[in-house]
Structure 1
Amino acid sequence: MTFRPGHLSKLLCLLLVSLPIFAVTTKHTKARPRAVVVPQSHKRGTATLTVKGKKKARIPRTLRTVPVSPVVRLSAVDRVQADLTETASSPFLYPGALHDFFKALEAQQSERTAGEASSATSTVRILQFGDSHTAADIFTGELRARMQQQFGDGGLGFQFPGHPFAGYHLAGSLRSQTAGWFTEGNRFTDLGDGDLGLGGISISTSQPGQAITLETTCTTLQLHFLQQPGGGRLQFSDNGSVVSTVETDSRADSSNRAGTFSYSCASGQHDFEFTTLDHAPVKLLGIITEQPGVTYECLGINGAIAPLMLRWNQALFDDYLRQRDPSLIVLAYGTNESGSSAEHLESYPADFGRILDNLHRIAPAASILVLGPADRSMASHRAWHPFAGTDRIITMQKEACRLHGCTFWDTRRRMGGFGSMQQWVAAGWAQPDRTHLTGTGYRALADALDNDLVHAYNLYQQHPRTTVEESSNGKAPRNP
C-alpha cells in the first residue's frame, strides 16, 4: 500500500480510537448502544447480533466481528471515500423530474437575497419516508444540517409526537412523554384502526394528566390529532405558560377526521407541553415545528416496506400531506422488500406505482425522488456474500420512476456498486449485520446525496428551461 500525505495521522487516530459509538440521548431516555455481537447460545458455531439486548439475527460464530488492522481499515476508508467523492457524470436517473423542487428552491432563495435573510417568510419542505435507514435520523439529520446551512434553517418540520418508540430522536430537539401513552404503527403487522396520520405512527391515551414535551426552535407549531367523537381536551403551554386548550371532540358529526392545532410564536428556543385534561380518548398523530428556510423531515419506521403507506388511513394522510405542501418527497425503501421471494414481490411494481401516483395527486407541485436500497451482504456457508436480491428492487423502482415521472438515485451504485458493503464494513462505516451503516457511514452517504443534489440544482440554474422530456437520461412522463 502506498502511503499518502496524512496517512500517518489517520493511522495514529485509528490506533488510539476504536470504532465510533453513535449514542444519542433524548429527554428522559438513556443513550442507545451500538450493535454488538455477543454469544447467546450454547449451540456450537452460533452467535446472535444483539441491539439493546434484543435478538436481531443469528450469525455463524465463524463470522463474528474480528478486529481489522489499521492499515486494512485505512485502505478501505480510502476506497470508500474515493467512490463517494468521485464526481458522477449522471448520479440521477431522470433528473428532469426534480425541476419543480429546484424551481421552488430558487424562488425561496431569490426571496432571501432580495432582502435580508431574517425577513424571509417562505419555507421549502422536503419529506423523507423510509425504513430504519431513515428512522435513526442520522442520514436525514445530516442532510437537514447541510441543506439548512446552504439554504436557510427551516426547523425540524414534521415529527412523531412524544417519544413513541425506543431510540427515537431528532437532532436539534429534546422530547419526552409520560407512561400512559400507547403507540400504534411501529409494529405494522397490527396497525389498529389505521388512523395514523402523515407519518404512520400515533400515540393515544384515555387518561388525564398524560403529557408530551418538545424543546426546539421555531416560529410556528402545529399539532396533528384525530378529531373523534367524545375526544378529550389538551392543555397547551409554551415555556411554562399556559397558552390554550385544544379540543379533540368532533362534536359536529360522528366521524373521525384530521384535526390540526396551529400556534405562532417568537423566533427562538421553546419548551412546549401538551397535557390531557379528561378521562377521554386522545390520539396524537404528529407535531410540526418550522420557520422560514428549508426543512428536511424524517418520517421513518423501523422494518417498514413501501406498500405499508397504502395501509394507513388515506383520508387522513391526504389531508395532512396537502397541509404540508412539500416541494420534494423522498422515498427511501427497499432493504426489507429485497428479502422477499419473487412470488411475494409480484404486486410490488403495481403497489409502488400506486404510491407514486397518489403522491403526485395529493401534492402535484412536489418532485419525487426515490432512493434505491443500499448494498447488502448475507451470511451463507460460513461466509458473507453480496446479496443479489436487491437487484430486483432496484430494477422495479427504476422502472416505476420512468413510468410515473420521478427521479431515481442509485444508493448501491453510489456506495461503490454490488459487493461494496464488505468494503464499508472494513472501513468501520457499516454495521456487523452488513445491512445498516454506522453514524460515519450514514453521514458520508448523506453528504454524497447533498453534493449530487446541489450539483443538479446548479445545472438547473444554468439551464432552467430544460423539461423532463429533455432530460439526458430519457423520458419520465408524469401520469395525469
Structure 2
Amino acid sequence: MAAHHTVSASPGKRDSPARPPDGKATKGGESFDPPPKSQSHAALLDLLKARSTGLTLILTVALALGLSLAPVPDALRPLPSLQRGPLPEKLVALVLPTSLSGGRATRPPGEVMTAAAGAAKRPPAETEEAEPADAGALVAEPLPAVPTTPGIGLEELSAPTLARAKDLEALRERMGSQHVDIELNCRKAGPDGSCLEDGLAPYTRALAELREDARRTPVRVVHLGDSLVASDHITDLVRDRLQERFGAGGKGFLFITRPASAGRWTRSGRGSDGWEIERLVDSKWPRDRVGWTGVAFSSEKGSQSTRYDVEGSRVAELFFLAQPASGSVQFSVDGKPLQRIHTRGFSKNKSEAAFARVTLPQGAKSLTLTTSGKVELHGMTLESGAPGVVYDTVGLLGGMAEVYLRAQPAAFRAQLRQRKPSLVVMMVGGNEAFFYSRDRTTLDEVRAQIKELMSRVRTNVPNAACLLMAPIDAGVRTMSGEVVSRRGTQEIGAIYREEARAAGCAFWDAYAAMGGEGSALRWLEEGLMLDDLVHPRARGSDLLGHLFDLSLQRAFAKSRAPLVAVVDPAGLQNADTALARTFDKLKRREAGEALRVGVAQLGGSHTASHYFTDAVREVLTKRFGAAGRGFIAAGKASPRLEPAGVTRALEGDWTIEDAAKDAPPGGLWGLTGIRAVGGPGAKLRIQFCKDCPEAKESSGRLDLYALDAPDVRAPDIAIDGELLPPDAPPPEPLTEPTVRIRSFPVTGSSHTVEVTAPKDGNVTVLGASLEYDTPGVVYDALGLPGATASTLGAMDAASVDAQLASRRPDLLVFWYGTNEAGRTDLDASALRRDYTEMLTRLRKATNAECLVMGPTDRLTQDANGRWSEAPSLASVLNTLPQVAKDAGCAYWSTRAAMGGERSMLRWQRTQPALGHADGVHLTPEGYARLAGAFSRELLTAYEAHKKAGPTSRVEDN
C-alpha cells in the first residue's frame, strides 16, 4: 500500500472516476385441438396419409376441393379454409411442403392425421367445440401501458399484476371491449318488495370476512362451464387475481387426469394411460353416478395411478363413487405411503357420491394415488388449510346447461354441498347458440334448461350466491366465404338475463364486455380468436378474464367501505419531473459516457435488512454497470451482508450504539445511525467483495468513516493486511469529537479494512465504503432498525450532511413511515413538517434529487389473534404523498405495490410467505418481490423519460 490521504467531514466534491402437447396440431403458431370432422373428412385424411403417388394426391385434392367448394354444410366440408383467402395459395400449401409453399412451419403430417382421426371419434356432444389454444404457445408483443380510470377495479392489484392489467387495458381500448358491471339482481326480497340481499351478497360478505380476518375457512367459488372454462385460460387469471387480493386457499378441484385424449395438462393430475373415462358430454353418459364434476375415471384394466403437485397444500380430498365390491386407493406423499382409502360403499345395492379427506404433511411436494381393484374416482381437491380464496373450475368440452342437467341429482347435490361454495358461476350458452343457429334446439328449450340449472344450484346450496354469464360473440362463414356474426347469441343472452333476474342470480354480460356484435370478427383480425371463430386464443381469454375479474372487484368494492380511508396511489408518482436529472445521467451512462450514478437509500429496518436494496442494486448495475458496493455500517457479523460478498467481524470489547434507542438529540452518528465503540485493543474488520474474481488492473477507493476525539490516539488501520503509517496530526488540535473520512487508493476487486483501537484508548468506527474507478451505479443502503424520519432529523445536522455529501448521491431515496405507522401518539402535522424540513436540508447538502417511499402495509394482532391496521397507518399514508409533493420528490407507495388494503395478511399466508409473522416486516422473498416491482416501475419511468426528449447536460455529483 503506497499511500493514503485524509478527507475532512465538510461537504465537497471529488473528481469523478473516469410447446404443443401430444396429439395437438398447430395453427398460427398456437396449439389447439383440431375441430372435429365428419366421417367423410376423416376418410379423406386417411386416404391422403395412405397414398403417396402423385396421381392419388391429385385425385384426392380434386375431391377435397370439390367438396369444399360445393354448397354443403360446413361439417361436411373437408377443407373449410378454402372458403377464404387466395385459392391458388391454399392449393399450393396443400400439395407442397411448407418450406416450398412459403407457409408457416407445421407438425409432421402423421401427427396431424392422428389428431384429426381422434377428433372424428369424439362423441357428438363434444364435437361442437375444440379446446382453445395453449396460453404459452402464442407470445404476443406487450402493448404499452396506458393510464387507467380510477374505480374500474385495479386498485388492489400488486405492482407486477397491475403492470399486466394495464397492458390488457391497452388491448381492451384498442379492441373496443367494455367494462360491464355485474347485474346484482335480488336473491332475497322483503315483504314490501324491497331487496334485502342482492345476488352476490353471500360471496361479497364472505370476502369481507376474509379481509377483516374474521374467517378461518376458505371462500370457495365453483365455476361450471364449457370449453372456455375447460381451457382454464379465462378462469386462471380470475383465480390468480382473487387469490392475490384475498389470499390463496389452494388449487381447488382437479380432475384425476385429462378428461380428453388431447389438450393441455390443466386442472388435473398426471394419470397413467389405462384410466377408463366417461363424461356427461358423451352420447352414453355415466347415468346415476356422476354429479357436477362431470367425469368418471375408472380403473377397469388393473391398477392405475395419478400424481399431483401439492406444494403448499395441507388438505387433499378425494371425490369418488362408493359402490359394492369396490377397491381402494393408496395415498403416497413424495414416494412414501401415507394412507389407504377404501371406496367400498355401505349399501350392497346402491352406489353414491362419497368423499375422503387426508391431511398432507408439512412440506409435501407430490401426491400419488394408486388404485387397487375396481375403483371409480371423480376428482381431487387440494387446499392450503388457511383462509383465502379457492376457485374451482369444471369445464366440459361441449358443455351446456342440458349437459350439467344430465348429472345424477343426488350426486350433484352431494358434491356441490361438499364444496360449501360462497359463489357458483355458470358459463354456458356458446353451444346452445351453436345448436340454435343450426335449428337443432329452440329458445324455449334453452330457457327451460338454464332455468332448471339455476334452480338446482339455488336449491342445493341455498346459502351460496350464483352468477350466470351471457355467451360471448362468435362468428360463422357463409357459403360465399364471408365472415358474419353467428345468430342466436344475443337472443340467448337476453334469455339468460331474464332468467337470472327471476332466479335471484347475478348476471354478467360477457357479450357486451367483449365488444358486442361483430367483436369475434375484430378479435380474429387481431389474432385474439381461433380460426373457428368460437374460441378466443390465450391473449383473448386473458382479456375476458381481466374484464370479469374487474367486474367482480367492483361489485365487492361497492358492497363495503374501505377499512382505512386513504388515498394510496399505485405506481411511481411525479417521476418525470422529480427524477429528470437522474434519468438524464443514466441515459448518458447507458450511451457510453464514463459516469458514476450514486443512489443513497435512507430508512428503517426495510432498508437495514439489505434484501430490498441488494435486489434493486443488482437490477441497476446489470444495466448501467457496477461502480462498487458503497457504504457499509460498522457492526457485528451479519448473514444479510453475505449475499453481496460483504463480511464484518468484531474482536474484543465492542459496544454497538444506535440513534433510535433513546439517544439524546444531536450527537455524531454514522450515516445509518450506528456507531461501534471499541475498547483498548479491540479490532473491527470489514471485507468487501469476498470471493470476487480478482481484477488487478482495476483501481478504486476505500473510505473509512470514524470519530476522532481530542487527546485520543488514532487507531491502527490496515488495508488488505498492510498496516498503514500513523496519520499526520491535524493542522489544529481538536477541541471536540468530529467525523473523519479517511480515503485510501486500492487496486483490485476484493479489499479488507481493519481498525484496531489503541492499547490505552477507545475507537469509534461508523462504517466504510468501497468504490471502483469504473463507470456505473453505486447504491448505498443506509438503514437503521426502528428508525423514523425524526431519528435522522435529530442527529447532528452538519455531520450527517457532510457524510451524505461525501457519498455524492444523485438520488436520495427515503423509506420511512412504517415505524411511524405503529405509534399511537403520532402527530401527522409534525410528521409532515419535520419530514419536509429534513428532505429540504439533505437535498441542499447533496444537490440530489429525491424519491419518497411510503410504508408497507402494517398490521397489529390482538389477544385473540385477529389482525387490524396499525394505529397511525392511515395518517402516514395520507401525509407522505403530500410531503413528497411539497419537497419536489417522486413518490412510490410500497403498500399499493403490495396490493393495498390488508396486503400484509395475504403476504403472510402466501406460499412461500412474503410477509413476516410480526405484521411489520417482509420475508427475504417478499423484499425481493417488492424490489422487483420498484425496479420495473423505476425503469419504466426512465424509458418514458428517454423517449420524451433530448438528454440535457447536468452537473455531476
Please report the TM-score for the alignment, with normalisation by the length of structure 2.
0.39
In 2, Cα distance between equivalents of 1:137 and 1:347 = 29
Aligned twin of 2:919: 434
8 Å Cα contact 1:230-1:251 kept in structure 2? no
1:441-480 equivalence runs, <5 A: 441-464=926-949
| Cα deviation code 1:15-35 (max 9, x no counterpart) | 69xxxxxxxxxxxxxxxxxxx
Aligned twin of 1:150: 623
1:270 Cα offset (Å): 2.0
Aligned twin of 1:28: none
Question: What amino acid does structure 1 have at the position aligned with 2:670?
Answer: G
8 Å Cα contact 1:200-1:309 kept in structure 2? yes
Asked whether 1:252 is paired with 2:724, we answer: no
Asked whether 1:106 is paired with 2:595, we answer: no
318, 328, 341: which one pairs with 2:801? 318
8 Å Cα contact 1:228-1:250 kept in structure 2? no
Question: What amino acid does structure 2 have at the position aligned with 1:160?
Answer: A
Question: What amino acid does structure 2 have at the position aligned with 1:255?
Answer: E
Change in 2 beyond 3 A, CA 1:76/1:92: farther
Aligned twin of 1:472: none
Aligned twin of 1:97: 578
297, 308, 311: which one pairs with 2:791? 308
In 2, Cα distance between equivalents of 1:261 and 1:186 = 23
676, 685, 691: which one pairs with 1:212? 685
In 2, Cα distance between equivalents of 1:77 and 1:332 = 32
| Cα deviation code 1:159-208 (max 9, x no counterpart) | 102428x7663622111111322222155212597110322111123413
8 Å Cα contact 1:232-1:280 kept in structure 2? yes
8 Å Cα contact 1:234-1:247 kept in structure 2? no
Asked whether 1:233 is paired with 2:714, we answer: yes
Aligned twin of 1:25: none
Aligned twin of 1:42: none
In 2, Cα distance between equivalents of 1:247 and 1:73 = 68
In 2, Cα distance between equivalents of 1:243 and 1:308 = 35
1:314 Cα offset (Å): 1.1
| Cα deviation code 1:369-404 (max 9, x no counterpart) | 111001122223722234463121021111111111
Structure showing greater radius of gyration is 2
Question: What amino acid does structure 1 have at the position aligned with 2:857?
Answer: D
Question: What amino acid does structure 1 have at the position aligned with 2:850?
Answer: I
Aligned twin of 1:425: 908
Asked whether 1:197 is paired with 2:197, we answer: no
Change in 2 beyond 3 A, CA 1:355/1:68: farther
1:349-388 equivalence runs, <5 A: 349-364=832-847, 366-380=848-862, 382=864, 383-387=866-870
Change in 2 beyond 3 A, CA 1:209/1:387: closer
Aligned twin of 1:169: 641
8 Å Cα contact 1:156-1:296 kept in structure 2? yes
Query: Between the two proteins, what is the percent identity of the paired residues?
Result: 25
Change in 2 beyond 3 A, CA 1:374/1:250: farther
Change in 2 beyond 3 A, CA 1:343/1:313: closer
8 Å Cα contact 2:659-2:795 kept in structure 1? no
Change in 2 beyond 3 A, CA 1:302/1:203: same
Aligned twin of 2:181: none
Aligned twin of 1:137: 610
8 Å Cα contact 1:92-1:408 kept in structure 2? yes
1:67 Cα offset (Å): 7.5
Question: What amino acid does structure 2 have at the position aligned with 1:178?
Answer: E
8 Å Cα contact 1:431-1:437 kept in structure 2? yes
1:30-45 equivalence runs, <5 A: none
Change in 2 beyond 3 A, CA 1:254/1:77: farther
In 1, Cα distance between equivalents of 2:649 and 2:871 = 41
8 Å Cα contact 2:601-2:780 kept in structure 1? yes
In 2, Cα distance between equivalents of 1:232 and 1:372 = 44
In 2, Cα distance between equivalents of 1:132 and 1:228 = 30
In 2, Cα distance between equivalents of 1:75 and 1:463 = 46
Change in 2 beyond 3 A, CA 1:304/1:192: same
1:244 Cα offset (Å): 3.7
8 Å Cα contact 2:600-2:782 kept in structure 1? yes
Change in 2 beyond 3 A, CA 1:10/1:373: farther
Please report the TM-score for the alignment, with normalisation by the length of structure 1.
0.75
In 1, Cα distance between equivalents of 2:688 and 2:656 = 21
1:411 Cα offset (Å): 0.8
1:421 Cα offset (Å): 1.5
In 2, Cα distance between equivalents of 1:228 and 1:370 = 35
| Cα deviation code 1:262-282 (max 9, x no counterpart) | 111112222332223342332
Aligned twin of 1:188: 661
In 2, Cα distance between equivalents of 1:419 and 1:203 = 38
Change in 2 beyond 3 A, CA 1:176/1:411: same
Q: Which has the higher contact order (CA 8 A, sep 6+)?
A: 1
Aligned twin of 1:411: 894
Change in 2 beyond 3 A, CA 1:283/1:387: closer
1:76 Cα offset (Å): 7.2
Asked whether 1:123 is paired with 2:596, we answer: yes
8 Å Cα contact 2:665-2:795 kept in structure 1? no
Q: Which moved more, 1:409-418 or 1:146-155?
A: 146-155
Change in 2 beyond 3 A, CA 1:77/1:203: farther
Q: Secondary structure at the match of 1:286?
A: strand
Change in 2 beyond 3 A, CA 1:256/1:420: same
Change in 2 beyond 3 A, CA 1:268/1:461: same
Q: Which moved more, 1:265-274 or 1:376-385?
A: 376-385
Aligned twin of 2:651: 178
Question: What amino acid does structure 2 have at the position aligned with 1:377?
Answer: L
Asked whether 1:338 is paired with 2:821, we answer: yes
Asked whether 1:391 is paired with 2:871, we answer: no
| Cα deviation code 1:118-162 (max 9, x no counterpart) | xx4x32111111111111111111111121111111222111024
8 Å Cα contact 2:788-2:817 kept in structure 1? yes
Change in 2 beyond 3 A, CA 1:10/1:137: farther
8 Å Cα contact 2:588-2:951 kept in structure 1? no
In 2, Cα distance between equivalents of 1:146 and 1:252 = 46
In 2, Cα distance between equivalents of 1:163 and 1:77 = 43
Question: What amino acid does structure 2 have at the position aligned with 1:315?
Answer: A
Asked whether 1:327 is paired with 2:810, we answer: yes
- Over the residues paired in the alignment, what is the CA RMSD in angstroms? 3.6
Change in 2 beyond 3 A, CA 1:352/1:248: farther
Q: Secondary structure at the match of 1:229?
A: coil
Question: What amino acid does structure 1 have at the position aligned with 2:701?
Answer: T
In 2, Cα distance between equivalents of 1:313 and 1:135 = 20
Change in 2 beyond 3 A, CA 1:246/1:192: farther
8 Å Cα contact 2:646-2:686 kept in structure 1? no
8 Å Cα contact 1:77-1:424 kept in structure 2? no
In 1, Cα distance between equivalents of 2:711 and 2:590 = 45
Q: Which moved more, 1:395-404 or 1:225-234?
A: 225-234
Q: Secondary structure at the match of 1:265?
A: strand
Aligned twin of 1:269: 750
8 Å Cα contact 1:401-1:408 kept in structure 2? yes
Q: Secondary structure at the match of 2:681?
A: coil
Question: What amino acid does structure 2 have at the position aligned with 1:154?
Answer: A
Change in 2 beyond 3 A, CA 1:283/1:125: same
Q: Secondary structure at the match of 1:219?
A: strand
Change in 2 beyond 3 A, CA 1:408/1:343: closer
Q: Secondary structure at the match of 2:915?
A: coil
**Which ranges in structure 2 are unaligned for 5 or more consecutive residues?**
1-220, 222-231, 237-264, 270-306, 315-360, 365-381, 392-544, 547-568, 693-698, 953-957
Q: Secondary structure at the match of 1:245?
A: coil
Question: What amino acid does structure 2 have at the position aligned with 1:225?
Answer: A
Question: What amino acid does structure 2 have at the position aligned with 1:369?
Answer: L
